[in-house]
Amino acid sequence: MGSLFKKHPLAVILSVIFHLALVAFFVFGINFGEEEIHSKPPVNVVKATVVDSSKKQAEVKKLKELDEQRKKKEKKRLAEKKKVDDLKKKEIDKKVLDKKKLEKQKVAEAAKLAKLKAKKALAKKKKAEALKKKKQAEVRKRKERLAKETAAKEQLAREQSLRELAAEEESQMRAQAAVASFTDLIRQKVERNWIQPPGDISGLSCVVRVRLIPGGDVIDAQVIKSSGNAFFDRSVELATRKAAPLPLPSDPSMFNYFRTLEFYFRPGG
């Protein structure tokens, strides 16, 4: 009956009330009829009815208490269930929040790492550019230095060339002057050693090329522009060899201009 009461408490209570009402009806109805017929006092019947009624009330009370206990237990169970559900929900919410927080942290760390990488890449790029500019500046300075050194060397070379050219021109001028001067002395000495050949030589002249060695000795003398008279030409060649050593400048550096020289020979002129 307890399990039936737990399942259908209202139906059980109504059933009990109905049965009590039915019992009361039969008891009181039977008593009325017996009173008219037998005229006996219903003391015992009333007492039994009261006892039964008390038992029923006690049972109903007990059923109510059991129902209240059940309700309390159910309420407690629901409260505990709600508490457990709330805890589960909090845990789920916490997990979701932690997950979002972790994802946000990962995103922040990834952004921080990307920013750091970008910063390092920028620093590396700036360093490379600075190094490149430094190398370019060094190359430019080296080129400028080389260009200056080359220009200075070229300038020195030009100046040296100009000095050498000037010296050469001066040397040539002195050599030409010396050659002109000593050629006349050589012609005079050759003429002093010249023996006039027989025959008419009036108006005859020739050009002689003579080869000398240091000291003025003659190693060769040859008429290169004939007078037209073989005897005259031959006499001049012999006179040139006989006049050795021919007069030369005292400066040894001038000898190169006298190794081979030519002079015009004309008696008396």
Q: How confident is the model at residue 132 (pLDDT cuts 50, 70, 90)?
A: confident
Q: How confident is the model at residue 195 (pLDDT cuts 50, 70, 90)?
A: very high
Report the DSSP beta bridge partners of residue 207: 225, 264
Share of the chain above pLDDT 90, in %: 31
Q: How confident is the model at residue 222 (pLDDT cuts 50, 70, 90)?
A: very high
* pLDDT for res 3: 65
In the three-class reduction of DSSP (H, G, I as helix; E, B as strand; rest coil), residue 211 is classed as strand
Q: pLDDT (tens digit, 9 = 90+) per residue, 60-110?
A: 888 989 988 999 889 889 888 888 677 788 883 688 465 777 678 873 574
Q: pLDDT (tens digit, 9 = 90+) per residue, 167-192?
A: 778 878 888 888 888 999 999 999 99
Number of neighbours of residue 5 by Cβ within 10 angstroms: 20
Average pLDDT, the chain: 80
The residue extents of the domains of the chain are 2-94, 193-265
* pLDDT for res 103: 79
193-265, CATH topology level: 3.30.1150
* pLDDT for res 48: 61
Kindly report the pTM of this predicted structure.
0.41
Where are the strands (E) in 213-257, listed by range? Answer: 218-225
C-alpha closest to that of 243 among 207, 191, 199, 202 = 191
Q: pLDDT (tens digit, 9 = 90+) per residue, 18-57?
A: 777 776 666 555 444 444 444 455 555 556 666 678 888 8
